[in-house]
A and B are shown apart, each in its own frame.
Chain A
Amino acid sequence: MHRPHLLSFTIALLMFGCGGESASSSSGADISPAMASSEAFVQQFREALESAEPGDIIDVPAGVHSFKRALTLNTDGVTIRGKGMDKSILSFKGQISGAEGLSVNASDFVIEDLAIEDTIGDALKVNEGENIIIRHIRTEWTNGPDVNNGAYGIYPVQTVNTLIEGSVAIAASDAGIYVGQSKNVIVRNNRAEYNVAGIEVENTIGADVYDNIATNNTGGILVFNMPQIPQRGHSTRVYNNQVSRNNTENFAAPGTAVSGVPKGSGILVNSNDNVEIFNNQLSDNDTANILISSYFSANYAGQKNLAKEFDPYPEYISIYGNTFQGGGEKPGADYLNQIRVALYGPTGAFPDIIWDGIVNPEAGTDGPFICVNNSEAKLLNLDAGNNFEGAQVNMAVHDCEVDKLPAIVLRGALANAS
């Protein structure tokens, strides 16, 4: 529970138009009535967030509402509701303070039907909380891909029981939709476009990612584990998604984890276990439609300093029922392109699935269990651990089964949503 409340606060917000806030020393001369009414909304909206009580529904009217500093919400049980992701717009163009647009530390939180645009850092961050619904939200940097865009669009981290649906994430310089260190998550019916990573599930336990469209990102859908953070992730299902043409040049800041993602990556699993990839439509992802890699191929720093408890190897990966078209013709990393040419000729293409082939030397015959039962689809083992000398396709070793993961079931107030 978060702390008690200063004031009870109810708002009836009927304002339309454009307006916003400025630093307090500037004058308010020459503003139109419509702008003045939206400026009043900006103030009221901030007050509503700051003095919210559980059960509050905070409406955001249609219009472009401009903010110069971050918004924060710490009260459980609040709903923020706009009139539509193209109508109610929280614009942070020209933001001068705060690392996010809207920063939330609360449970039983619902945000729906609005847009958050042009934040200087992350657009919507929910840091710790249970029962989170993010629905019909658009996060966008309206200038398109740019290293100076904020890192994350929709960013729940350390949440439990979380639903992200019907949302749109565009031009984040890291991930459009990023679920970090969370448990029991559904990401569905979203569109992620022109981000470095379209949808990224990282260090998360139990996630279903389905019915999404990930296109024109550097990498479409990523399932990652990173070392040295509190929760090790596993058990993600990625299915029924359309993952196509994720060939946008990587525009992430150097040094970030996703800066090593080669452009043209469809679905990319890194260092994560128990991942099921099925019934997706993958097409024209120029590096490969599906990539499976260990931490050692992620082009990260710190690879030799891994903590002992970190498992850098992807294991128990199951790939079946996907449809593939095109892809693998123009890998987005020089070393991958050289291997492609060496193995398949100047005009040849990688098979639909590539794997770095780096396995736990202590695993013995237990194997990594990268299981592929996907009709004619082939997996190329790059043998990256041996300078690619043994790169080959050998589907026999991938003819295996791992137990199917159970569907994610949202609980409590979110039970009806699933």
Chain B
Amino acid sequence: MFALSTKPKARLLKRPFTCARWLIPLCLVILGACHRSPEVQFFGDQEYPQKLSAWGLMQLDNQLIRLPSEQQVYELNTPLFTDYALKLRTLYLPVDTSISYRATDAFDFPVGSIISKTFFYPVNSSGAIALQSSWNGNPHDIDLSVHRLIETRLLVRQPQGWDALSYIWRNGEAYLSIIGDLITLPVDDGSELNYLVPSRNQCAGCHAENHTHGTIHPIGLKARHLNRPHPIHARNQLLNWQQSGDLSGAPQPALIPRNARWGENNGDLNLRARAYLDINCGHCHNPRGAADTSGLMLDHQASDPAHLGVCKPPIASGRGSGGHLYDIVPGNPELSILAYRMSTTDPAAMMPELGRARVHREGLTLIEDWIASLSGVCL
């Protein structure tokens, strides 16, 4: 194994010419500007920097986000809902390495890989965030004069496995937070949002999809989530990576699984609902996950209706039952615990347990429509 810890230093030596502070005016004249593309740095697990900028994953420049050329942007077919935050996802692979394809689990990433996810909202002139918004997926179109960056989460591939880190944005820089935070954000409807930045252990609460081992993995970087057009150039993301040599071992595109896109209203209702449950619930509600205690399985592989919750009584729901008897009553979303737990913001009753303080109305409607479409009778 090559010595990762020496890598940042080696990179530092190779840094291009930079301007000493007293020389800045002169530099500005000579070079036109001191702009240089940020360069990605990798850090060992004992030397994580306090500032996100040290990683070189992105640079804020004149109200825009500048990404280094070796950073790749990607999107998921159906993403996790996080209080209507918009998310910029990037992947950095070390030079001359590639991802190994897996059909079901997260891809196998080379040591030195860095996955980032930046959470942001549009803001109005008084700094209030908008919850209902969209974005074309192009980082160059995030105008920071009308957007607020909240946090950037990193998954860093060390020799011994993945580490999860959260950086919280404050005044143009993001700072490492091991313990997480609750950030009160004003919302443009006059309300407030208690936005949760997860602690390091809470990251594992979702990313340790195998709760017995407790090791963390990427959730979104799986074939079925990534198999879709790229948000900017529209070519298939996986095909693109295959052709660029970033992804090895993938079968031909027709053989790669693909989850539905939850918001495509003309798409198959069952597939859209299952894709939504897979990404929002399946990391815990799978046969090896933290929520296997419940016997409710909502990952993409679940097939037994009882395991999916059809006519299944709750086990340890507490008031999460909402007074209902079954997780899913076919045809009756209003009697189904699954829909109830998505419709509440009571932390003891809501699902998912972490990562939202608001109801995802559109996601709830999808699941309600899906339950309404199911047939059967609970005896």
Using a CB–CB cutoff of 8 Å, the interface residues on chain A facing chain B are 1-4, 6-7, 23-26, 43, 46-47, 49-51, 68-70, 72-74, 95-99, 103, 105, 120-122, 127-128, 147-148, 150-152, 157-158, 173-174, 178, 180-181, 226, 228-230, 253-257, 300-305, 307
A105 contacts B211, C-beta separation under 8 Å: yes
Q: Which of B290, B353, B378 contacts A305 (CB 8 A)?
A: B378
- B131-169 at interface with A (beta carbon < 8 Å): 158, 160-163
B-chain residues with CB within 8 Å of residue A23 when the two chains form the complex: 182-184, 194
A3 contacts B204, C-beta separation under 8 Å: yes
| Nearest-Cβ distance from residue B315 to partner chain A, whole angstroms | 6
B-chain residues with CB within 8 Å of residue A103 when the two chains form the complex: 205
- B328-355 at interface with A (beta carbon < 8 Å): 337, 346-348, 353-354
- B180-221 at interface with A (beta carbon < 8 Å): 180-184, 194, 196, 199-202, 204-205, 208, 211-216
Beyond contacts A72-B205, A105-B214, A253-B319: 19 other A-B pairs, Cβ-Cβ < 8 A, are A2-B214, A2-B215, A3-B214, A4-B45, A4-B161, A4-B163, A23-B183, A43-B179, A46-B179, A95-B347, A105-B290, A121-B318, A152-B316, A158-B292, A253-B323, A254-B324, A255-B317, A302-B378, A302-B379
A-chain residues with CB within 8 Å of residue B160 when the two chains form the complex: 3-4
| Nearest-Cβ distance from residue B128 to partner chain A, whole angstroms | 13
A3 contacts B161, C-beta separation under 8 Å: yes
- Sample 8 A-B pairs with CB under 8 A, ordered by A number: A25-B183, A96-B347, A120-B348, A121-B348, A257-B315, A301-B313, A302-B313, A304-B379
Bitwise, B107-123 to A at CB < 8 A (1) or not (0) is 00000000000000000
A226 contacts B318, C-beta separation under 8 Å: no
A-chain residues with CB within 8 Å of residue B194 when the two chains form the complex: 23, 96-97
Q: Which of B199, B212, B315, B318 contacts A50 (CB 8 A)?
A: B199
A68 contacts B182, C-beta separation under 8 Å: yes
A-chain residues with CB within 8 Å of residue B346 when the two chains form the complex: 120
A50 contacts B200, C-beta separation under 8 Å: yes
The 3 closest A-B pairs by CB, nearest first: A151-B318, A255-B321, A301-B325
A-chain residues with CB within 8 Å of residue B306 when the two chains form the complex: 228, 305, 307
A-chain residues with CB within 8 Å of residue B211 when the two chains form the complex: 105, 127-128
Nearest B residue (CB) for A21: B182
Nearest B residue (CB) for A155: B316
Q: Which of B179, B196, B313 contacts A257 (CB 8 A)?
A: B313
Rounded to whole angstroms, the CA-CA distance of A174 and B337 in the bound complex is 17
Q: Which of B205, B290, B348 contacts A150 (CB 8 A)?
A: B348
In the assembled complex, B100 has its CB within 8 A of some CB on chain A: no
B196 contacts A301, C-beta separation under 8 Å: no
Using a CB–CB cutoff of 8 Å, the interface residues on chain B facing chain A are 45-46, 48, 158, 160-163, 178-184, 194, 196, 199-202, 204-205, 208, 211-216, 290, 292-295, 306-307, 311-326, 337, 346-348, 353-354, 357, 378-379
B-chain residues with CB within 8 Å of residue A72 when the two chains form the complex: 199, 201-202, 205
Rounded to whole angstroms, the CA-CA distance of A151 and B315 in the bound complex is 11
Rounded to whole angstroms, the CA-CA distance of A265 and B348 in the bound complex is 27
Nearest A residue (CB) for B45: A4
B348 contacts A97, C-beta separation under 8 Å: no
Rounded to whole angstroms, the CA-CA distance of A108 and B337 in the bound complex is 35
A-chain residues with CB within 8 Å of residue B213 when the two chains form the complex: 1
Rounded to whole angstroms, the CA-CA distance of A180 and B317 in the bound complex is 13
B-chain residues with CB within 8 Å of residue A302 when the two chains form the complex: 311-313, 325-326, 378-379
| Nearest-Cβ distance from residue B254 to partner chain A, whole angstroms | 36
Nearest B residue (CB) for A172: B318
B-chain residues with CB within 8 Å of residue A95 when the two chains form the complex: 347
Nearest A residue (CB) for B48: A6
B-chain residues with CB within 8 Å of residue A1 when the two chains form the complex: 213-214
| Nearest-Cβ distance from residue B208 to partner chain A, whole angstroms | 8
Most buried by A among B211, B290, B315: B315
Nearest B residue (CB) for A2: B214
Most buried by B among A3, A105, A181: A3
B353 contacts A6, C-beta separation under 8 Å: no
Rounded to whole angstroms, the CA-CA distance of A196 and B373 in the bound complex is 37
A300 contacts B313, C-beta separation under 8 Å: yes
Nearest B residue (CB) for A25: B184
Nearest A residue (CB) for B185: A25
Q: Which of A25, A147, A226 contacts B315 (CB 8 A)?
A: A226
A-chain residues with CB within 8 Å of residue B201 when the two chains form the complex: 49-50, 72-74
| Nearest-Cβ distance from residue A172 to partner chain B, whole angstroms | 9
Rounded to whole angstroms, the CA-CA distance of A158 and B211 in the bound complex is 11
Nearest A residue (CB) for B322: A255
B-chain residues with CB within 8 Å of residue A24 when the two chains form the complex: 181-184
A47 contacts B179, C-beta separation under 8 Å: yes
Nearest A residue (CB) for B207: A3
Nearest B residue (CB) for A76: B214
A305 contacts B379, C-beta separation under 8 Å: yes
A-chain residues with CB within 8 Å of residue B196 when the two chains form the complex: 69, 97
B313 contacts A151, C-beta separation under 8 Å: no
| Nearest-Cβ distance from residue A292 to partner chain B, whole angstroms | 21
Nearest A residue (CB) for B351: A99
A-chain residues with CB within 8 Å of residue B178 when the two chains form the complex: 6-7, 47, 50-51
Rounded to whole angstroms, the CA-CA distance of A39 and B234 in the bound complex is 50
| Nearest-Cβ distance from residue A178 to partner chain B, whole angstroms | 7
